[in-house]
Chain A
């Protein structure tokens, strides 16, 4: 009865066809791009800031948790309702509000797809720099939540470097403007704090981003190796040479064979690893750098270095890299992708460690790295129907991340902590550091209405809101059916 009242209140705010509350529909919001599962009690599809604000007010007064969701391509379970509540889908807030080329900025709603923004900017010679591999589907709101990067993070930074202002609905429903449209606002850098908060601080309803001019010239090199260690050593060698390519990506032989089956880009099927190296800038400089980079690659043991001969070949090579996770479906029913970060000088030994972990657990692990900035994406293959294997997979993932921490790295480069790596946060940060984070969250989200039980280790989330009637985290999971 109680929940029936909530459904009708939600419908009053956003309209009848913008609320889901039937089990068979809610089931479709229990997943995202990760392995996590959890079913919400409601899904709502607001279309403007005022509706988001009204939803938050209702959620607060009813003590319901709210989980924001973009396209659901996330890889750490950030959009999963762990204990019921409202999934707030921003898919229908997908308008580009303003493109202001003269001031090098654009303002978008959170549901705008990353690549759609770049496509809209392209005719004027501009683009939005953060380029996560899921960019043809993921939303800019999601990029803000996860502080997403991509292959070009190496040269252009991550999302936080490209956001100047955010209109935010706070958990109590108030609307606040963090930062401004211009890049240099006074006071604390609140957009900087908000970006990467994984939906635990507020709901971004309008985002002002910087836009970048498309480079005059781009060269994409494919450097091919018979030994994975040579590829790893090339990355170190390039750094010492003083060249910063726009991107250095690494695919091991195993992964590139799956990818080649999809893109037919000419990835060499018999190689042990390839590096995809991109250089951009003025034409003369790019040509000169391409020569130097090729020489460095060969010295480090590359058997061949190719330069993409035209835009078409370049796009194909990148399509291969950017769709690599999905291409794994060709060879395995499920995969578990990790997102460790290490100093790039430690790439060779980390590769050996990953191989060791795979052997120990009898699992196949493919490797794709943003090698330039030491961001690893080991792909562990398994069959989700096999409970044993699933357990070993999760364990292997954990061991890899623990190794990353031990060599001075981190547990996430761009996928976020979500509900998947919370417990590892205690290995990465000291108690006092975690305490600061918990207090910061409390400033924005004092009652943990927004995206509870994410990001920070569970010990710190004991006061978080759960569905009414299930006040303790140990209580059985609420079911939507019971509530109606």
Chain B
């Protein structure tokens, strides 16, 4: 426990100055002093952190996680079970970034901390296999992803799933919650549309490359098709470049930064083209990562390309709102509440455009309390940290039900799945839609 002894030394003997020992970080992707020293531990982030709100403990707050990173760098804390637990528990929702007056780039810190964990900490054998398979061999591999999706579709459609649900087998192995979170696999994958160009209807106002996403292409094809329709009906030509791949968000969030970098290079090569006015995505999580390719590839020779690419990336709501909607064919007279996806509100600082689009088609918005607080989905968090995720979700459902909304709208597929599971859990019967799905119904 040598780190503890030195802890106490720092407390009284050395007064207020900070003793930096030999760092327990090593290798690439280290959280640097320049990154974490912007935190002055004022604590203004605490009440904005979903895990702190649920657990009430400093270790599971942004300030506390940054302090743990500092302690690892100062050699007082090892990269071991405790550090890994608390860094794993972070949703990476980045609500703390919006709350932080000091401009701490918390997302960068936690992603680097995770990269260090991947390099220096050995997880249990099974976890290692699953993580490696999923992050290295599935998301970025169209063929394998399609095969797995096909298997899952068989499970969902053959009656196996309802059998498993009804005989209690899922509950027995603790998988009932996870089963509920599965997306319904599409009959036809959006991958078939790769390489296509969809012409603008009427006068062409812009031309964009559409980043379709990996899981979205096997489980949210309908949303992707709706996105193409809404864009083309608004005078935008949509190309779906064939060479694109998964954005690498889940990999980067999990600490697999090399895998994320490889995907970033593919996407830049496929979509950085002067013919495109923008690279558009309908997933807030993907958009946030695509916009941060500059940071991801900082040590790469391709840095300037990455930054040019990042500047072109636009969330679909951001792009439509900036170009202006054509008058919709129908109005939707409904009262709705909007859940800010974390990687839109905090990651990309986009809050008003989706709301403006909804109002433009006649939706009356009623804000729920804490609309910009995470629903607990957070990429694969609801799978890896299911129990905590469900607690966060239940709090979200309380906020939803405090409104008189007839519809819940969001702008990210992960949030949609989570919110639907939440409706199930809370026995609420509200539909959950993507902004684009609402617009699609009006054109």
Instruction: Output the least CB separation between A224 and chain B (Å).
Output: 21
Whether the Cβ atoms of A31 and B4 lie closer than 8 Å is no
Could you tell me which residues of chain B, from 290 to 316, have a CB within 8 Å of some CB in chain A? none
CB of A479 within 8 A of chain B?
Answer: yes
Cα(A116)–Cα(B7), bound, Å: 34
Query: B77: which of A27, A138, A259 is its contact (CB, 8 Å)?
Result: A27
Query: B37 — which chain A residues lie within 8 A by C-beta?
Result: 329, 333-334
CB of B222 within 8 A of chain A?
Answer: no
CB of A23 within 8 A of chain B?
Answer: yes
CB of B159 within 8 A of chain A?
Answer: no
CB of A134 within 8 A of chain B?
Answer: yes
CB-nearest residue of chain A to B82:
A24
Cα(A155)–Cα(B103), bound, Å: 32
Whether the Cβ atoms of B4 and A137 lie closer than 8 Å is no
Most chain B CB within a 10 A radius of its CB, from A23, A119, A324, A393: A23
Query: A82 — which chain B residues lie within 8 A by C-beta?
Result: 12
Whether the Cβ atoms of B4 and A479 lie closer than 8 Å is yes
Whether the Cβ atoms of B17 and A390 lie closer than 8 Å is yes
CB-nearest residue of chain B to A329:
B102
Instruction: Output the least CB separation between B110 and chain A (Å).
Output: 16
Cα(A171)–Cα(B42), bound, Å: 29
Query: B7: which of A30, A32, A334 is its contact (CB, 8 Å)?
Result: A30
CB of B231 within 8 A of chain A?
Answer: no
CB of A384 within 8 A of chain B?
Answer: yes
Query: B16 — which chain A residues lie within 8 A by C-beta?
Result: 35-37, 384, 390, 393-394
Query: B17: which of A45, A89, A115, A386 is its contact (CB, 8 Å)?
Result: A386
Query: A263 — which chain B residues lie within 8 A by C-beta?
Result: 101
Cα(A39)–Cα(B5), bound, Å: 10
CB of A352 within 8 A of chain B?
Answer: no
Query: A479: which of B5, B18, B38 is its contact (CB, 8 Å)?
Result: B5
Q: A28-B67, A326-B101, A333-B37 are in contact. Are A134 and B44 (CB under 8 A)?
A: yes
Interface of B is mostly: loop
Whether the Cβ atoms of B42 and A91 lie closer than 8 Å is no
Interface size range on B against A:
35 or more
CB of A204 within 8 A of chain B?
Answer: no
CB of A262 within 8 A of chain B?
Answer: yes
Instruction: Output the least CB separation between B210 and chain A (Å).
Output: 32
Stretch binding the partner chain, chosen from B57-65, B232-240, B331-339, B340-348: B57-65
Cα(A341)–Cα(B276), bound, Å: 60
Q: A24-B82, A136-B99 are in contact. Are A72 and B4 (CB under 8 A)?
A: no
CB of A29 within 8 A of chain B?
Answer: yes
Whether the Cβ atoms of B1 and A23 lie closer than 8 Å is yes
Could you tell me which residues of chain A, from 439 to 484, have a CB within 8 Å of some CB in chain B? 477, 479-481
Cα(A330)–Cα(B105), bound, Å: 11
Query: B104 — which chain A residues lie within 8 A by C-beta?
Result: 329
Query: B56 — which chain A residues lie within 8 A by C-beta?
Result: 45, 89, 91-92, 94, 111
Query: B230 — which chain A residues lie within 8 A by C-beta?
Result: none
CB-nearest residue of chain B to A476:
B8
Could you tell me which residues of chain A, from 102 to 144, have a CB within 8 Å of some CB in chain B? 111, 113, 115-116, 119, 134, 136-138
Q: A134-B42, A479-B5 are in contact. Are A327 and B11 (CB under 8 A)?
A: no
Cα(A326)–Cα(B43), bound, Å: 9
Instruction: Output the least CB separation between A433 and chain B (Å).
Output: 28
Cα(A259)–Cα(B16), bound, Å: 25
Query: A323 — which chain B residues lie within 8 A by C-beta?
Result: 44, 101
Beyond the given pairs A28-B57, A329-B37, 20 more chain A to chain B contacts, judged by CB atoms under 8 angstroms and listed by A's residue number, are A20-B57, A25-B82, A27-B77, A31-B41, A32-B41, A45-B56, A71-B43, A72-B58, A89-B56, A119-B369, A136-B44, A261-B103, A325-B40, A329-B38, A386-B17, A390-B15, A391-B15, A479-B5, A479-B8, A481-B5
- 8 residue pairs of the A-B complex, CB under 8 angstroms, read A73-B42, A115-B47, A329-B38, A335-B40, A385-B18, A387-B17, A477-B12, A479-B4
Q: Which residues of A contact B (CB under 8 A)?
A: 20, 22-33, 35-39, 45, 71-73, 82, 89, 91-92, 94, 111, 113, 115-116, 119, 134, 136-138, 259, 261-263, 323-330, 333-335, 384-387, 390-391, 393-394, 477, 479-481
